[in-house]
């Protein structure tokens, strides 16, 4: 009989998933990163952004993911603050609309409830 501990119950209730590092490594059977320098699992980030913003066009989701993962400053602190602002507020992205004009989309923040 499998015993359930508090941590397992919390993770299941919150919908959190974990993966074994070597399995998602570049050489792993379910590779989720191109190399070990890639810190953010881009596929998971884009999936989360799509789930949070189901009405956003794919271009807006891709641009938001690009903005979140881009390094703009040589300062780690500045980069962390910038990313934190985007994850706790929203990411503004410009995408090309059907009528060829550009429109501003607000990609919603990651909910931490």
The pLDDT tens digits for 7-59 are 888 888 888 788 888 999 999 999 999 999 888 899 999 998 888 888 888 88
Number of structural domains found in the chain: 1
Could you tell me the pTM of the whole model? Answer: 0.72
Q: Is residue 7 part of a domain?
A: no
pLDDT tens digits, residue range 53-93? 888 888 888 998 999 999 999 999 999 999 888 888 888 88
Distance CA 74, CA 71 (A): 8
Domain that holds residue 45: 19-108
- Inside any domain, residue 9: no
In a domain, 5, yes or no: no
Asked whether residue 4 is assigned to any structural domain, the reply reads: no
Tokens of 91: 């990411």
């Amino acid at each position: 009989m499998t015993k359930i501990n508090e941590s397992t119950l919390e993770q299941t209730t919150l919908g959190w998933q974990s993966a074994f590092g070597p399995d998602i490594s570049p050489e792993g059977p379910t590779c989720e990163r191109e190399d070990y320098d890639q810190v953010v699992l881009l596929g998971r980030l884009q999936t989360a952004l799509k789930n949070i913003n189901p009405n956003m066009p794919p271009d807006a989701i891709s641009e938001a993911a690009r903005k979140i993962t881009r390094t703009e400053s040589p300062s780690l602190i500045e980069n962390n603050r910038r990313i934190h602002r985007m994850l706790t507020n929203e990411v503004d992205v410009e995408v090309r609309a059907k009528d060829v004009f550009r429109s501003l989309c607000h990609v919603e923040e990651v909910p931490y409830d």
